């Protein structure tokens, strides 16, 4: 598989009344063509800020893009001006959000919104757009699409609206779909249907997907690979099997324990600690790492080490004493 997106050392701050808030602190990750990468992590860990930055959706100010690269299909998007980035936003890179009502126009019929998207975004004529709109609604399993085209968003159920959102996001045949908690507001059955739909579109059109969620059950169901975020940084990455079967970072281990549905030990509910101790690793002579038991360090003085292909872990690397004295 080849890389579609490479985010390198992304740093984003916000100017606030109280000073600069470092929301994203040196995030690097890649997404392959056709891959579904899930981002998990607690509220405020920087998931939305990181992914909104990909298509530069954060208004400057208060946002400050301090550093980094966002290489999409070989081109760095970060230095682009608004006019240039618009060629990508909603076209090659689409986004869907938690609440479709914020993205759908409540005063416009569903059909008209899809047709407008096709005419403006794809340059097709109105008649062809009508036929394509019907096809798109069928594709996302909206029953009786001709009748549904004439209805307003409020006449649709939450799950149905979310499917229309996905339909709108898929119109431009994007290479990358960013879905920020798209199923959080839905009941479990509807959520399953929407997840199935995203997975099907990913597989059929080879679209890459970045899927943000709090729900580890959802991750287990759909992700190929997982990025775990904590406090503006990635703390661990791995395949969905690595992360569920062999979580290494204390924060990831805590997440697994805190989620009774996916954790394998039955026991009482686990509360995440406020401060996450970073594991201390020591580099051995052969270049591999060993965990130094009993030493838990806290703080910013950590770095990501690569444990294998697409498997990485944030650790507090133990420095030799002589080095520390220098």
Ligand X SMILES: Nc1ncnc2c1ncn2[C@@H]1O[C@H](COP(=O)(O)OP(=O)(O)OP(=O)(O)O)[C@@H](O)[C@H]1O
Number of H-type helices and E-type strands within the chain: 11, 14
The b/e string for 115-128 (b: 16+ C-beta within 10 A; e otherwise) is bbbbeeeeebeeee
Segment holding 4, helix H or strand E: strand 3-16
- Strand, coil or helix: what is 268? coil
d(CA 90, CA 175): 10
Q: Residue 182 CB, nearest distance to Mg ion (Å)?
A: 12
Interface pick for ligand X out of 16, 157, 205, 206 (rule CB under 6 A): 16
Interface pick for Mg ion out of 13, 48, 51, 191 (rule CB under 5 A): 48
Q: What is the contact mask toward ligand X in residues 164 to 203, using x (rule: CB under 6 A)? A: ----------------------------------------
Interface pick for ligand X out of 5, 10, 31, 47 (rule CB under 6 A): 47
Nearest CB to ligand X, comparing residues 101 and 305: 101
Tell me which of Mg ion, ligand X, none is bound by residue 159, counting a contact when its beta carbon lies within the kind-specific cut-off of 5 to 8 angstroms: none
Q: Is 52 in the site for Mg ion (CB under 5 A)?
A: no
Q: Residue 14 CB, nearest distance to ligand X (Å)?
A: 3
Task: Find the angle CA(220)-CA(225)-CA(229) to the nearest 5 degrees.
Answer: 90
Nearest CB to ligand X, comparing residues 45 and 183: 45
Q: Which of 238, 244, 231 is nearest to 309 (CA)?
A: 238
**SS3 sequence of 32-80:** ECCCEEEEECCCCCCHHHHHHHHCCCCCCCCEEEEEEEEEECCEECCCC
Task: Find the angle CA(23)-CA(194)-CA(240) to the nearest 5 degrees.
Answer: 60
Q: Which of 44, 49, 47, 41 is nearest to 13 (CA)?
A: 49
Q: Is 279 in the site for ligand X (CB under 6 A)?
A: no
Q: Is 21 in the site for ligand X (CB under 6 A)?
A: yes
Q: Is 56 in the site for ligand X (CB under 6 A)?
A: no
Nearest CB to ligand X, comparing residues 26 and 34: 26
Segment holding 112, helix H or strand E: helix 110-122
Nearest CB to ligand X, comparing residues 16 and 203: 16
**Binding region for ligand X (CB under 6 A) out of 44-52, 72-80, 138-146, 262-270:** 44-52
Tell me which of ligand X, Mg ion, none is bound by residue 62, counting a contact when its beta carbon lies within the kind-specific cut-off of 5 to 8 angstroms: ligand X
Q: Is 213 in the site for Mg ion (CB under 5 A)?
A: no
Binding residues for Mg ion, per CB under 5 A? 47-48
Binding residues for ligand X, per CB under 6 A? 14, 16, 21, 23, 41, 43-49, 62
């Amino acid at each position: 598989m080849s890389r579609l997106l490479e985010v390198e050392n992304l740093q984003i701050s916000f100017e606030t009344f109280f000073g600069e808030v470092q929301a994203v602190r040196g995030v690097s990750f890649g997404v392959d063509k056709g891959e579904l990468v899930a981002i998990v992590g607690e509220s405020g860990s920087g998931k939305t800020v990181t992914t909104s930055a990909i298509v530069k959706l954060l208004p400057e100010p208060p946002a400050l893009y301090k550093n980094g690269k966002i290489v999409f299909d070989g081109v760095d998007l970060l230095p682009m001006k608004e006019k240039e980035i618009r060629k990508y936003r909603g076209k090659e890179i689409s986004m869907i959000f938690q609440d479709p009502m914020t993205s759908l126009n409540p005063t416009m019929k569903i059909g008209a919104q899809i047709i407008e998207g096709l005419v403006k975004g794809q340059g097709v004529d109105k008649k062809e757009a009508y036929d394509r709109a019907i096809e798109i609604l069928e594709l996302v399993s909206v029953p009786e699409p001709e009748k549904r085209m004439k209805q307003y968003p409020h006449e649709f159920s939450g799950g149905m609206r979310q499917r229309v959102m996905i339909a709108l996001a898929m119109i431009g045949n994007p290479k990358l779909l960013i879905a920020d908690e798209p199923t959080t507001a839905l009941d479990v059955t509807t959520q399953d249907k929407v997840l199935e739909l995203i997975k099907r579109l990913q597989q059929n059109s080879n679209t890459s997907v970045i899927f943000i969620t709090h729900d580890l059950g959802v991750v287990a169901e759909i992700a190929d690979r997982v990025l775990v975020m904590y406090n503006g940084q990635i703390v661990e990455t791995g395949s969905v099997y690595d992360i569920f079967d062999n979580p290494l970072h204390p924060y990831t281990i805590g997440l697994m324990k805190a989620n009774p549905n996916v954790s394998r030990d039955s026991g009482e509910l686990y509360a995440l600690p406020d401060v996450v101790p970073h594991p201390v690793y020591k580099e051995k002579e052969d270049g591999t790492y060993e965990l130094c038991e009993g030493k838990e360090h806290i703080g910013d003085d950590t770095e990501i080490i690569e444990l294998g292909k697409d498997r990485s872990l944030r650790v507090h690397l133990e420095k030799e004493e002589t080095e520390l004295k220098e």
